[in-house]
Amino acid sequence: MNDRLLRAARRQPTDTTPVWLMRQAGRYLPEYRAIRGNIAFLDLCKHPDLAAEVTVQPVTRLGVDAAIIFSDILIPVEAMGIELELGDKGPHFPNPVRTAADIDKLGVPDPVQGTGFVAEAIRRTRKALNDSVPVIGFAGAPFTLAAYMVEGGGSKSYILIKRLMFEQPEVAHRLFKKLTDTLIPYLKMQVEAGASIVQIFDSWGGELSPWDYERFCIPYLTRMVSELKATGVPVIVFGVGMSTHLPLLKRTGADVIGLDWTMPMDEGRKVLGPDVAVQGNLDPLHLFLPREELDGRVRDILLRAGPVGHIFNLGHGILPPTDPEAAKFLVDAVHKHGVALRQGTLK
3-state class of 225 per DSSP?
helix
Tell me the whole-structure pTM to 2 decimals: 0.97
* Selected catalytic residue, list 3, 10, 11, 36: 36
Tell me, yes or no, if 36 is annotated catalytic.
yes
CA dist 234 and 254 (Å) reads 8
Tell me, yes or no, if 266 is annotated catalytic.
no
Q: pLDDT tens digit string along 43-99? A: 999 999 999 999 999 999 999 999 999 999 999 999 999 999 987 778 999 999 999
Inter-residue contact 175 to 101 (CB < 8 Å): no
Kindly report the CA angle at 318 between 92 and 145, in degrees rounded to 5?
30
Is a pLDDT exceeding 80 seen at residue 347? yes
CA dihedral 268, 272, 273, 279 (to 10 degrees): -60
* Selected catalytic residue, list 4, 7, 23, 61: 23
With cut-offs at 50, 70 and 90, classify the pLDDT of residue 291.
Answer: very high
What is the model's pLDDT at position 86? 84
Q: Give the rounded distance of the alpha carbon of 325 from its chain centre.
A: 23
Instruction: Detail the residues annotated as belonging to a binding site for substrate.
Output: 23-27, 72, 148, 203, 316
* Selected catalytic residue, list 32, 148, 186, 213: 148
Is a pLDDT exceeding 90 seen at residue 303? yes
Instruction: Detail the residues annotated as belonging to a binding site.
Output: 23-27, 72, 148, 203, 316
Tell me, yes or no, if 27 is annotated catalytic.
yes
- Omega before 281 cis (within 30°)? yes
CA dist 344 and 81 (Å) reads 54
Q: Is 131 exposed, middle or buried (0-12, 13-18, 19+ CB in 10 A)?
A: middle
* Selected catalytic residue, list 27, 98, 123, 174: 27
Q: Find the distance separating the first CA and the last CA of the chain, reported in whole Å.
A: 30
Amino acid at 90: G
* Selected catalytic residue, list 72, 202, 255, 260: 72
Region 187-206: mean pLDDT is 97
Is a pLDDT exceeding 90 seen at residue 1? no
CA dist 175 and 142 (Å) reads 8
Tell me, yes or no, if 72 is annotated catalytic.
yes
CA dist 124 and 300 (Å) reads 37
Region 296-309: mean pLDDT is 98
